[in-house]
Amino acid sequence: MSDRPAATLLDGRALAAQIEANLADEVQTFTDMFKRPPRLVVVLVGDMAASASYVKSKAAAAARVGIDAEVVRVPATADTLALVALVKSIARDEHGPADGILVQLPLPAHVDTVAVLDAVPPDRDVDGFHPENAGLLSQGRARFIPCTAAGVQRMLLDAGIETAGRHAVIIGRSDIVGKPLALLLSAKGPGGDATVTLCHSRSADMAAITRQADILVAAVGRPGLVTASMVKPGAAVIDVGINRVTAPDGTSRLTGDVDFESVRGVASWITPVPGGVGPLTVAMLLANTALAAELRSRGG
């Protein structure tokens, strides 16, 4: 049994509340100046319970800071052409002013997700998925940063976890988390200057790589993937995974990609699931929406 004290919990809910409080002041200033609040339009396709829950939490958070959020619900049978047409109509403000446009993922299997996301104008793309925004991020000229990646970096900065000169290992190479986070952590400046390794399903001897990590980020959607034997003593472990696991008795619970109980005895910092990265993802979406409204209203 290790004598190492249990890891410090990184409280995403508390940090998100701080971000929201600051945003509320910014949003009020915008509303007073332009005589309307920033406005977010969310496209929700189908009736997946998880997606509906995520959208509900985003709309509630928007209301807390004074952002007007509208959810446009679309049947699961809608095809790619119909969804692209809808997104373009929202961009023309046919559903009211749309400073930010968000298409809730995942989309049904028959839909070309890339085509739908590409229809979102880059200056309204508050998820940061448009190739123009991805390109700006890669060049260190970020406009809208994918929300989860931005939230992870913000968490590290807030906790005072040094990134410069450290080895960050990210498990997962998605365009939503892994790739943009690798760019953020390796960029020059605060919250960056790390040496980054991006692991994925074809990585050989992943545990040998993760044991080198001063900062270990798990973002693949596999419950309990990261165990204590994969973690360097004293590391910061950031769990982006959100998985619903059903027990033999039929009860279910949310869990991350990290075996929390074993890893917290090895790491120096760890995020819980829920209550870790998730609230920050929503907070950074609100920040992107406020920025989009300001840029749009000022013609930037």
* CATH number assigned to the domain comprising residue 159: 3.40.50.720
Check if the beta carbon of residue 40 is closer than 8 Å to that of residue 99: yes
Check 99, 123, 127, 259 and give the catalytic one.
127
| DSSP 8-state class, residue 107 | P
Sheet holding 195-199, edge to edge: 8-9, 269-270, 236-239, 215-218, 167-171, 195-199
Tell me: do 58 and 157 sit in the same domain: no
Q: Would you say residue 215 lies in a domain? A: yes
Tell me: do 87 and 157 sit in the same domain: no
Tell me: do 164 and 269 sit in the same domain: yes
Tell me: do 112 and 178 sit in the same domain: no
Q: What is the pLDDT of residue 1?
A: 44
Check 58, 123, 179, 259 and give the catalytic one.
58
**Spatial distance between the Cα atoms of 147 and 149, rounded to a whole number of angstroms:** 6
Tell me: do 85 and 192 sit in the same domain: no
Q: Per-residue confidence at 2, pLDDT binned at 50, 70, 90?
A: low
Tell me: do 177 and 237 sit in the same domain: yes
Asked if pLDDT for residue 298 goes beyond 90, the answer is no
**Spatial distance between the Cα atoms of 47 and 52, rounded to a whole number of angstroms:** 7
Tell me: do 98 and 152 sit in the same domain: no
Residue that the structure tokens 């050989």 belong to: 204
Tell me: do 179 and 84 sit in the same domain: no
Q: Would you say residue 255 lies in a domain? A: yes
Check if the beta carbon of residue 280 is closer than 8 Å to that of residue 145: no
Check 104, 153, 214, 259 and give the catalytic one.
104
Tell me: do 270 and 168 sit in the same domain: yes
Tell me: do 181 and 101 sit in the same domain: no
Q: What is the pLDDT of residue 250?
A: 82
The stretch 279-288 carries a mean pLDDT of 98
Q: Would you say residue 13 lies in a domain? A: no
Please write the tens of the pLDDT for every residue from 194-222.
999 999 999 999 999 999 999 999 999 99
**Spatial distance between the Cα atoms of 219 and 239, rounded to a whole number of angstroms:** 7
127 catalytic residue (yes or no): yes
Tell me: do 82 and 189 sit in the same domain: no
Q: Per-residue confidence at 251, pLDDT binned at 50, 70, 90?
A: confident
The domain of 189 spans 146-279
Please write the tens of the pLDDT for every residue from 104-159.
999 999 999 999 999 999 999 999 999 999 999 999 999 999 999 999 999 999 99
Q: Would you say residue 225 lies in a domain? A: yes
Q: Per-residue confidence at 62, pLDDT binned at 50, 70, 90?
A: very high
Asked if pLDDT for residue 100 goes beyond 60, the answer is yes
The tally of domains found in the chain comes to 2
